[in-house]
Amino acid sequence: MKRSDDMYETACRYLPGGVNASARVNAAIGHPFYVSRGDGPYLYDMHGRRFIDMCMSHGASLLGHNHPRIVEAVSKALELGVICSSETQYQIMLARRVSELVPCAEMTRFAGSGTEAVMHALRLARATTGREKIMKFEGHFHGYSDGIYFSSAPRLDAAGPSSAPLAFPQSAGMPKENANRIVVVPFNAPGILEEAFKVHGHETAALILEPINYDSGCIVPKPGFISLCRGLCDRYGVLLFFDEVLTAFRVALGGAQEYFGVVPDLAVLGKALGAGMPISAIVGKREVMRNLRPLGESEHSGTYMAHLTSVMAALAAIEEYSQATFYERMNAVGQRFYEGFEAIAERSGVPIRLQYVGPRFGMYFGVKDRVTNYREAAAQDHALMHRFVAACFSRGVYFHVSPHHGFSAAHTEGDIDEVLDAVKAALQDVKHYVATEK
């Protein structure tokens, strides 16, 4: 059996960069994590070695890998004939269930990836309002489409003033004129947001945000900030758009809008919705959603939209999330991990801040104070993060170097204790590295 380095070398001959998604290269281990299978909270490498997974498909596998109800649901969908590009009763059932749970979801349309859902939803927002500009927060990620892939992780030397961030394109090949339709503001800065609305509110279609900024680790809005967003959108006729790709079904059954008690006009759901199967959703108020064709003139279509395998997986996942003790059990595991991690970090002497909501968290190396915006998150010591991830990997615990990490409903207290043992040893490695090499 080939070693990972050999597999990566072969992959690089046929796949650009050796991967099918840029983020799959884990810089801390020097190549992708090649796995042979996954089960519950575990991934197994090509030699059968078990790793406790603290990435969990970047948040998609909230139930763990190979969950029996998801496997059963997908198997049933396959038995029905791999239905593609046709409607069945199951899409209706799923839309109804989403509407019962998510506060703004008076109507729903399903899509594949979160990128796809956001792209269509932004076009819908423009069609609904007749306006072209989109306002977004620096450090918030909303997918890879050319119209919104700005300032999700800008280089600080090219991001402009912190009080007036530039619209920084995150990829080569994006039309320069697209930046003219994006207004970037710092997160958790009420005065700057109010001023941005005074200047741009009359020509802005939507204010889009991650209600919890997991894509910068885990940055929570300051008290009253989400309500301020709602009030400003109402005042200027702008649609409030929650990107709940990461928060949906994770922080509460009704997502961040239930968690914060603020209802947006439009939202996208993803990741945990399919429990590892590819599905996302555009949800919103009826007066917005009715602008989609064939009722209105905003297009949303595609051969693989609401593929039956993913729809039936999502139905099964939601029933699991709806169990009476689901969040209570997961939060208890989280409390054990977070309290244990913070105690270990304090004793280690390594400067690191942990921020979390629900089963997803961010780690900021070289930081002690609460992180409230992207600029503060970007100032962390990435070399220490890489050292930590590599040290945990060598001890059978898998973190990715992406900004956010997490566990699943399949993780037990015993798994968490194993992770904490690895964290303790890894932080000692980091401490030694700081003392001898930095």
Query: Which of 321, 353, 375 corresponds to the end of one domain?
Result: 321
pLDDT of residue 60: 98
Amino acid letter for position 131: R
**Same-domain pairing of 79 and 61:** no
Angle at the Cα of 234 from the Cα atoms of 228 and 240, rounded to 5 degrees: 75
Please choose, from the candidates 30, 56, 28, the residue with its C-alpha nearest in 3D space to the C-alpha of residue 11: 30
Residue 110 DSSP code: E
Q: Are residues 152 and 215 in the same domain?
A: yes
pLDDT grade, residue 356 (50/70/90)? Answer: very high
Q: Are residue 49 and residue 83 in the same domain, yes or no?
A: no
Length of the chain: 438
Are residues 127 and 282 in contact, defined by beta-carbon separation less than 8 angstroms? no
Categorize the per-residue pLDDT at 430 as very low, low, confident or very high, splitting at 50, 70 and 90. very high
- Residue whose tokens read 């439009």: 266
Tally of structural domains, the chain: 2
Last residue of a domain, one of 321, 349, 370: 321
Q: What is the pLDDT of residue 436?
A: 87
Last residue of a domain, one of 280, 303, 321: 321
Query: Which pLDDT band, with edges at 50, 70 and 90, does 1 fall under?
Result: low
**Within this chain, do residues 243 and 371 fall inside the same structural domain, yes or no?**
no
Per-residue pLDDT at 4: 85
Residue 99 has pLDDT above 70, yes or no: yes
CATH code, 372: 3.90.1150.10
> Are 274 and 368 in a shared domain?
no
pLDDT for res 271: 98
User: What DSSP designation does 370 have?
Assistant: P
- Average pLDDT rounded to a whole number, residues 157-171: 97
Coil, helix or strand at residue 398? strand
- Kindly state whether residues 307 and 334 are assigned to the same domain: no
Task: Please list, in sequence order, all residues whose beta carbon lies within 8 angstroms of the beta carbon of residue 40, skipping any fewer than 6 positions away.
Answer: 64, 65, 66, 67, 408, 410
Instruction: Kindly state the average pLDDT of the residues 275-281.
Output: 98
Q: What is the CATH number of the domain that holds 216?
A: 3.40.640.10
Residues 242 and 94 in one domain: yes
Statement to judge: residues 293 and 418 lie in one domain:
no
Locate all alpha helices (DSSP H) within 68-200, ordered by sequence: 68-79, 89-101, 114-129, 190-200
Task: Tell which phi-psi region holds residue 344, choosing left (phi > 0), alpha (psi between -120 and 50) or beta.
Answer: alpha
Q: What is the pLDDT of residues 10-63, one digit of tens each?
A: 999 999 999 999 999 999 999 999 999 999 999 999 999 999 999 999 999 999
Q: Are residues 316 and 370 in the same domain?
A: no
Residues 74 and 137 in one domain: yes
Region of residue 139 (phi > 0: left; psi between -120 and 50: alpha; otherwise: beta): left
**At residue 139, does pLDDT exceed 70?**
yes
pLDDT cut 90: percent of the chain above it: 97
The terminus-to-terminus CA distance of the chain in angstroms comes to 37
In 21-87, DSSP assigns E strands to: 35-39, 42-45, 50-53
Residue 363 scores a pLDDT above 90: yes
For residues 57 and 106, state if they share a domain: no
pLDDT at residue 5 greater than cutoff 90: no
* 220 and 237 housed in the same domain: yes
Domain that holds residue 330: 4-66+325-437
Q: CA 259, CA 211: separation in Å to the nearest integer? A: 10
Asked if residues 207 and 237 have their Cβ atoms less than 8 Å apart, the reply is no
Taking each helix axis from N to C terminus, what angle separates 225-236 and 190-200, rounded to the nearest 10 degrees?
10
